[in-house]
Amino acid sequence: MLRVLALLTALLAAPVAVAGALTGTFASIDGGTLSLEDWRGRPVLVTNTASRCAFTGQYDALQALYDRFRERGLVVLAVPSNDFRQELATAGEVKDFCEVNFGLDIPMTDITSVRGETAHPFYRALKAGAGFEPGWNFTKVLIGPDGRFVAAWGPTVRPEAAAIVGRIEDLLE
């Protein structure tokens, strides 16, 4: 079982060609919109999240990663999703939960679908171009400064893992 998990993690971290830059906007949990184009020239780590997931503690590590690299240009985007039925009922509840329990100041979208026919256009493009779609909460997708898919990691790979940090550092140099 551990070998299968290790193989899947390695496959998810492998670079995959995506035709063109990933683009689009998300509704912000704070109101307004968040645009991937506004972050062009910077790497973006996009993570689908959920407040009632066993991996929710990774919010601390996502914030720490953002704190560590934000001055060098990294953006960490949290995308709350209820696709796996583990998110709170409203964006307001999610925002309050994250502020109270984790003190987050990373950019965060409104509750957003990440899988299937109702998936946000970013995730539909990711699936069409890279054949990748989140299999669970806290799946991380790294987008390069040029807007292209770089790598993805499953939820068992923590944000501070050497594989993720190394890829981010390479993009920030």
Give yes or no: 53 in active site.
yes
The overall longest dimension of the chain from CA atoms, in Å, is 44
- The token pair at 115 is 């899988």
* Cβ–Cβ under 8 Å, residues 42 and 147: no
Beta strand 75-80 with 44-49 is: parallel
Q: Treating both helix axes as pointing N-terminal to C-terminal, what angle do 58-69 and 91-102 enclose, rounded to 10 degrees?
A: 70
Q: How far apart are CA 123 and CA 90, in angstroms?
A: 21
Q: How far apart are CA 133 and CA 37, in angstroms?
A: 21
- The token pair at 92 is 């307001």
* Cβ–Cβ under 8 Å, residues 164 and 45: yes
Selected catalytic residue, list 36, 45, 53, 79: 53
**How many CA atoms lie within 13 Å of 64's alpha carbon, on the beta-carbon side?**
10
Active site residues: 53
